[in-house]
Amino acid sequence: MSANPPPALPTDLTGRVVFVAGGGSAAPGWSIGRAACVTYARQGARVCVADRDAASAQETTALIRAEGGHAYTLVGDVAIEADVQRLFAEARAHFGPIDVLHHNVGIGQTGGPLETSADDFARIHAANVGSLLLCVQQALPDMLARRRGAVIAISSVAGLRYVGYPHLAYSVTKAAVVQFTRMLAQQYAAQGVRANTVVPGLIDTPRIAGTVAKMFSDNLEEARAARGRQVPLGRMGSAWDVAHACAFLASDAAAYVTGTELVVDGGLTGKYT
């Protein structure tokens, strides 16, 4: 054994530029994207907070700056190519080349094939998967030029399993996110770029109040409790539970992790029923 001490866990992101696509929150409070932005900044990263909702992105930036961190607000729709080109140009002009891309946006609509129009299916695909392509097209050249980079894409357990009610377009696009990211990881591993998917389970973020909670009960507190009871760990996850997994994958602590999925679900997908 070497006389040198073993290395400390290298979670520091000082000097790294992290672009978060969807760094706001659908409603007041801690979304996954917002918690991830704050976590990256706490690790020393300079964070580009991109969202189509200007006020929400600005709130995330303000939270980071209030802690003494570095953040910059970018406003645009990441499903629109011209917007994505502009957002990344602004990000580079402000902070420099992108080291980490965190693709966070995800929209959905409950219903199966008979309740989902082709237009809605295409819209949800453009938002959840098309935007991933557009963001990767922008971030990848920066990473390849320096032979270093990490991509973190956010999927969902709905992309791996039937979650108890029809959520077709969302589930199919979230499955696509997983395979897109695996493909990316394989193609660019030799050039220093890692790519992984984080797969959140049932997470207690502000947006669930207006969407999936209704699948459980009209009463929000009952719905939250019912959602939590499904989970082996006995509770829904918090946005921070997911953000911490993202921060690990963004850092050199995950230097040997690529092309895989980190499931953050309190044991949900391992359960029989």
Interacting span for ligand NAD (CB under 6 A) from 6-14, 39-47, 74-82, 141-149: 74-82
Task: Note whether 39 binds ligand NAD by CB under 6 A.
Answer: no
Nearer to ligand NAD, 123 or 146 (CB): 123
3-state secondary structure of 1: coil
Distance CA 45, CA 11 (A): 11
Task: Confirm whether 256 is a catalytic residue.
Answer: no
Task: Please work out, in degrees rounded to the nearest 5, the angle formed at the alpha carbon of residue 51 by the alpha carbons of 47 and 53.
Answer: 135
Interacting span for ligand NAD (CB under 6 A) from 18-26, 90-98, 137-145, 250-258: 18-26
Nearer to ligand NAD, 189 or 222 (CB): 222
Task: Note whether 77 binds ligand NAD by CB under 6 A.
Answer: yes
Task: Note whether 56 binds ligand NAD by CB under 6 A.
Answer: yes
Contact 134, 78 (CB under 8 A): yes
Distance CA 38, CA 49 (A): 10
Q: Residue 207 — left, alpha, or beta (φ > 0 → left; ψ -120 to 50 → alpha)?
A: alpha
Among the listed residues 49, 71, 105, 151, the single contact to ligand NAD using CB under 6 A: 105
Interacting span for ligand NAD (CB under 6 A) from 29-37, 109-117, 135-143, 217-225: 29-37
Contact 38, 64 (CB under 8 A): yes
Among the listed residues 13, 17, 19, 22, the single contact to ligand NAD using CB under 6 A: 22
Interacting span for ligand NAD (CB under 6 A) from 9-17, 23-31, 218-226, 247-255: 23-31
Per annotation, catalytic residue among 40, 170, 256, 272: 170
Task: Note whether 16 binds ligand NAD by CB under 6 A.
Answer: no
Q: What is the CA radius of gyration of the chain?
A: 18
HEC string of 35-98 equals HHHHHHHHCCCEEEEEECCHHHHHHHHHHHHHCCCEEEEEECCCCCHHHHHHHHHHHHHHHCCC
CB 73 → ligand NAD: shortest distance, Å?
Answer: 12
Distance CA 12, CA 16 (A): 9
Distance CA 210, CA 193 (A): 37
Task: Note whether 106 binds ligand NAD by CB under 6 A.
Answer: yes
CB 146 → ligand NAD: shortest distance, Å?
Answer: 26
Size of the site for ligand NAD (CB under 6 A): 29
Q: Show Cβ contacts of residue 231 under 8 Å, excluding neighbours closer than 6 positions.
A: 201, 202, 237, 265, 266, 267, 268
CB 126 → ligand NAD: shortest distance, Å?
Answer: 8
CB 234 → ligand NAD: shortest distance, Å?
Answer: 16
Question: Shortest Cβ contact with ligand NAD: which residue?
Answer: 106
Phi and psi at 2, nearest 5°, equal -70, 150
Active site residues: 170
Instruction: Write out the residues near ligand NAD by the rule CB under 6 A.
Output: 22, 24-26, 31-33, 51-53, 56, 77-79, 104-107, 127, 131, 154, 156, 200, 202-203, 205-208
